[in-house]
Structures are given as structure tokens and as C-alpha cells.
Amino acid sequence: MSGLNTGEPVSDEVSAANQAAPVIQLRGLRKSFGDLEVLRGIDLDVVTGQHVVIFGPSGSGKSTMLRSLNMLEQPTAGSLKVDGVEYGPGLPDEPGVRRGKVLDLRRTVGMVFQQFNLFPHLTALDNVALPLRSVRGLKGAAAQLKAAEALRRVGLLQRAAHYPQQLSGGQQQRVAIARALAMDPKVMLFDEPTSALDPELVGEVLKTMREVAETGMTMVVVTHELGFAKEIGDLNVFMEDGLVVESGPRGFFENCVSPRAREFILAVR
């Protein structure tokens, strides 16, 4: 059932319900750094509730692709539509499309980084509460209450008064997940969220991510944890040299046909 059907939403049960309106739609997305073209035309559809896993060798462009989904990298060409609104340079044959502001895009899409990027001068609670105050406009007490709820979701309410340097890497990453979740995003992006962790701390972060996935959150995850990918991936995307080589639904890791994807999966395992 899979094949070289690049970018088509193929997750059977989920896409059946939402076929019409993907939350994220990439068409011919390109990104260059100077002479180096890192993304060479990416097509991808992500529908609501779908868990997309992106994997591939280093330098394949998967992080750049993820980072352009919230415009931390500005695409040089192509279309990036979120909720039907165009945020990228757009396509030449689609001039009348509704264009959105970067700030609005980022308020729709949450992101978790490889290096956690917690604010070190703030407690765990204030890390979550700061954007609630300054972006969502909540008052102090309301922001703290919502932040506390988010920390409870990731099982770290007991650590609310701790500063990032007093937390383990796994705990820091879970606070970072809580910080992004508290903003009620429509989509959560994860950029190699376990790559900077000690091996024994990977499990707790994956567990938290699994719990987020179970709530029906739409997720796009760049990861090297293929075991985890296999478990949550409704749509699995293998990238190399700035292109999607092959993508497919559940069972992709057994059924993929392109030699490069098979080779990569074998090598990682």
C-alpha cells in the first residue's frame, strides 16, 4: 500500500475524516543558504490529529524543513500553508491566496527544540507563564494557574519552583513541552527532542510525547528514535539531500521500497 507517493496524506483512518483540509500544506518548498540549496522542493500534507515522523541522515534538510514550518527559517520559494493561510513566498499560479503574519503562524504552531532552550533566569513555572502573559495576555495569577496545569500534565508540578539548571535534561525538555502546550497550539513541532539527552533520560521525554500524541495533538517530529517513530508515526517521511525520498503510513519501516530508506533503517537499527 505504500510506495513513492511523495507527500500524499496516506494515513487511512485520520485522513479519511480530514481529507479536505490539511492543517499544514507544503508545496515545492525550497530553502537556500547562499549557494547551498538545503530544501529542494518539499511537498507535504499534515492533517489534524496526524502524527508525522520525519527521519533521514544528517544534512538531509529535515530540521530546516521543520524550522520553516514556523518560519524560524524563511523559505526561499514555494508554498507553506497553515490552516489555509499562506506564510511562505507562495506559488506563482496562486496569486489571490490569503497571506498571514509570521507572529500569527507562531501563535498557532508550538515547537520543542533539541537544546530545550528554557529561559535559565526563570523558574519552571515562570518559563511556562511568561509567554502566557506576553502572548496570550493572561494576568499574573491566571497565567500561573494555567502554567501550573501545564506542568502537571507533564508530571513536573512538584518542580515548579526549580530553575532549569536544577533540573535534569529530561525534566527540562518536559518543561519545554509544557511551555509549548500551554499556548494551546494546533500543531506541535519537535526538533530531535531526545538527541541532547543522556540515554537513561530519553524514556521520560518519549513517554511525555506519547501522552501528548494520545490527546489527539497534531505532531510533526524529527527524530532518530525509530522505535518511537514506528510507534506513533501515522505518516513517516524519509528525507535525503533536501528531498522527500519516500513517505508512507504505518508499517512504513517494514514496507518501504526505496533502497536508500531501507538502507538507512537497517543502518540505524
Partner 1 sequence: MNISNYDWGLIWENHGVLLNGLLVALQVSVIALVISIFGGLLLAVMRLSKPPISWIAVAYINVFRGVPALVSVIWVYFGVALLLGVNFTVFQAGVIALSLLYSAFMAEIFRSALGAIPPGHREAGQALGMRGTRIFFSVVLPQAIKIALPNLGSMFIGMVKDTSTFTVIGLLEVVRVTQNLVSQSFQPFVLYTAAAAIYVLAAFVIDIVFRLIEGAYASPPRGAISRVLRSRKRQRIQQLMAEVGP
Task: Report the residue from 3, 32, 107, 258 that binds partner 1 according to the rule CB under 8 A.
Answer: 107
Q: Is 196 in the site for partner 1 (CB under 8 A)?
A: no
Q: Is 168 in the site for partner 1 (CB under 8 A)?
A: no
Q: Is 261 in the site for partner 1 (CB under 8 A)?
A: no
In angstroms, give the least distance from the CB of 153 to partner 1: 10
Sequential DSSP letters for 33-62? ETTEEEEEEEEEEE-TT-EEEEE-STTSSH
Binding segment for partner 1 among 81-89, 151-159, 237-245, 257-265 (CB under 8 A)? 151-159
What are the cell numbers at 244? 522527500
Residue 181 or 265 with smaller CB distance to partner 1: 181
Q: Is 179 in the site for partner 1 (CB under 8 A)?
A: yes
Query: Three-state SS for 155?
Result: coil
Residue 37 or 126 with smaller CB distance to partner 1: 126
In angstroms, give the least distance from the CB of 137 to partner 1: 11
Residues in Cβ contact with 103 at an 8 Å cutoff, skipping those fewer than 6 apart: none
Residue 123 or 223 with smaller CB distance to partner 1: 123
Q: Is 145 in the site for partner 1 (CB under 8 A)?
A: yes
In angstroms, give the least distance from the CB of 115 to partner 1: 5
Q: Is 134 in the site for partner 1 (CB under 8 A)?
A: yes
Q: Which 37-96 residues touch partner 1, going by CB under 8 A? A: 70, 72
Q: What is the CA radius of gyration of the chain?
A: 18
Query: Three-state SS for 164?
Result: helix
Q: How many residues sit close enough to partner 1 to count as binding (CB under 8 A)?
A: 41
d(CA 90, CA 185): 23
d(CA 197, CA 203): 10
Residue 123 or 247 with smaller CB distance to partner 1: 123
In angstroms, give the least distance from the CB of 177 to partner 1: 12
Strands (E), the chain: 24-33, 36-46, 51-55, 77-82, 85-86, 109-112, 187-191, 218-222, 235-240, 243-248
Question: First-to-last CA distance in the chain?
Answer: 23
Q: Which 203-222 residues touch partner 1, going by CB under 8 A? A: none
